[in-house]
Amino acid sequence: MRETGSTTDSDFSLSSRRSIQRIIACYFLATFGASTLVLPQLHGAERVEFHFEDMVIPIPIDELNIWNRDLNAENNDEELKTSSELGYWLNLLGFNSRGALSNFLEAPFIKDESMTRQLLRSWAGRKLLDEISDLIVIDDDKTGVKLFNTLESLLEDQEQVSLLDLLQSLPAEVIHFDLDGWLKVISSWKNELSLQQKFLKDLNAFSSNNSLLESKESVQNELKESLNEIVRVPVGHRSKELEVEIWRPLARSSSRENWIVFMPGLGGDQSHFRWLARSLSHQGWEVVVIDHPGSNSEAMSSFMEGRNPVPGGAEVFPYRLADLSAVLDLKEKELLDVKGEKVVLMGHSLGSLISFLASGATPQNRLLDRCNKALDDLSITNLSRLLQCQIVDLSLEEQKEISSLAAIVGINSFGKLLWPDSLSAEINVPILLTGGTFDLITPAISEQLGLLLSTKSNKFSRALIIEGASHFSPIRIADQKVDVRQNDLYQISDALVGFHPLSVQSLLAREIARFLDNLERGESLPVSTNVTRNGLKFHLLDRNSIIKILD
């Protein structure tokens, strides 16, 4: 073992120590799961070694257990005494009281053993294992097999597992934590957050000579009642009929030349977007909302209950593309009672990506290299990268040209890894992409603005960025008007939903309708920045303004 050397608290900042604690905790949260092998007997690790620069910080596991077990016999707020070697190292790592140490060791990082196993059997789980095994090594094993076999054995006997449970059970002499590697991950995450903060600052500083103008024909004055029905249609690629929900204006007319196909995101549900379908049908458009078996809310619920793998594997893409193709074919053959000559593809998150792929956009070359670089440092704040990179192992069939395609509307879209360069997507239809400044799953600066730049220049194309909106803001949860969420799959906290989700949804409905209305009248929406309506600030940008902001 290398000499530890002498180091003071000042050499290792408090924020860095706290960040390391969080990262270690996040690691265990992210990597709960199990492999297929089972150990016949568990023999606990002897010590944990934290590797930092030229130091090795050794902490014996049995001493950790003794300190934690004797906690109740002493004052919980007693400062750890640096006179003992263990107290010195724990203090250096940021645990300044026995209570803090106890909470860290005993907090369950696995709370649902069924979902745990399904997650790590997924592509995303395996990818996390590959990357994490380079940073946490058990003896000389960099495969992660010992870690997940131990978790499997623990979960046979208990539903929840704490960090101390795991450390005491790992069949190893030494567990090595590469803190240098973790700090690189922290640095990468901080860099992403800094880019988001800079983008917001630049966005607010950007000035436009144009002010927000009302449409000559106000869509809000064209409200009509609407009807909706569930229609089940046979499709060749599925064993069961495909379910679509059709929204029609009560007074059907030919005033709208376009009709709309809407696709929810991964784990999404038709009910989550009825607010938008209803609003657009009120404005005269006919809307078809597709339910995608295998990647819908039912599939997500099955995963959360531990009955099936996490939805979102590579098989999702061809099935969703086939679902969309089947709906378009039925309309073309006049077997679907929907009025409109041209189609607008619309979707949330993954549903938006499917719109891009269906339009004929093929991923730019060297996707594997981009994915290896993007995922190598575990910087998965942008979680859409995990979905994009599954396309590496997928041979997507060439998509039939949609001759009637009028536009694409993407809500919280992503695809920057697929089309990283300007004009690389080769899509030449009007596009509206919407996003929020609280969205770290599909960050606006890369996934919406960057994605719009990958398409061909079009005078109608716009990006709508709403300050304070998140990836989940567009999802209508149960009855948000009275905040009744307990019966909905998405138990989303306010921190994830962002500010005023109902206001965000209202703004989205209005601006999407304005975009579609102007499109049919051959008029582009004016560029507008720093506009406030109903307590929300938003920005409507074209290609040139995006280039100036990102420059």
Both tokens of 261, joined, read 């196909």
Strand partners for 178: 51
pLDDT at 247: 96
The strand ranges marked E within 195-341 are: 226-233, 242-249, 258-263, 287-290
Candidate from 63-67, 110-114, 130-134, 499-503 with smallest mean pLDDT: 110-114
Q: Smallest Cα–Cα separation from 164: which of 48, 35, 249, 297? A: 48
The SS3 assignment for 411 reads strand
The 10s digit of each residue's pLDDT in 250-275 is 877 767 999 999 999 988 889 999 99
The answer to whether 517 touches 219, Cβ cutoff 8 Å, is yes
As a whole number of angstroms, the longest Cα–Cα distance in the chain is 84
Mean pLDDT of 209-215: 43
CB neighbourhood size of 103 (10 A):
14
Q: Tell me what the mean pLDDT of segment 327-346 comes to.
A: 95
Query: Averaged over 170-191, what is the pLDDT?
Result: 75
The pLDDT assigned to 21 comes to: 41
- DSSP three-state, residue 15: helix
Lowest average pLDDT, out of 186-195, 363-372, 449-458, goes to 186-195
Angle subtended at Cα 44 by Cα 41 and Cα 48, rounded to the nearest 5 degrees? 150
For residues 453 and 547, the answer to whether their CB atoms sit within 8 Å is: yes
Using the structure block, give the residue that is written with the tokens 């593809």.
Answer: 345
pTM of structure: 0.74
Q: Residues with Cβ < 8 Å from 24, sequence gap 6 or more?
A: 177, 182
Alpha helices in 269-410 (DSSP H): 274-282, 297-304, 316-332, 350-358, 367-376, 384-389
pLDDT score of 457: 95
**Residue 483, pLDDT score:** 42
Q: Give the span between the Cα atoms of 427 and 455, in whole angstroms.
A: 5
pLDDT number for residue 153: 80
In this predicted model, which residue has the larger pLDDT, 45 or 392?
392
Q: Residue 387: which pLDDT band, with cuts at 50, 70 and 90?
A: confident
Q: What is the mean pLDDT of the chain?
A: 76
Whether the CB-CB separation of 290 and 326 falls below 8 Å is answered with no
- pLDDT of amino acid 312: 66
Of the two residues 235 and 119, the one the predictor is more confident about is: 235
Size of the chain in residues: 551
Please write the tens of the pLDDT for every residue from 43-52: 456 778 877 7
For the segment 292-305, the average pLDDT, to the nearest whole number, is 76
**In order of start, what are the domains of the chain with their CATH numbers?**
9-186 (no CATH), 206-550 (3.40.50.1820)
Residue 88 or residue 171, greater confidence? 171
List residues bridging with 47 in a β-sheet. 60, 174
**The residue type at 34:** A
The encoded tokens of residue 127 equal 């990818």
What pLDDT digit, counting tens, does each position of 109-129 carry? 665 555 555 555 555 566 665
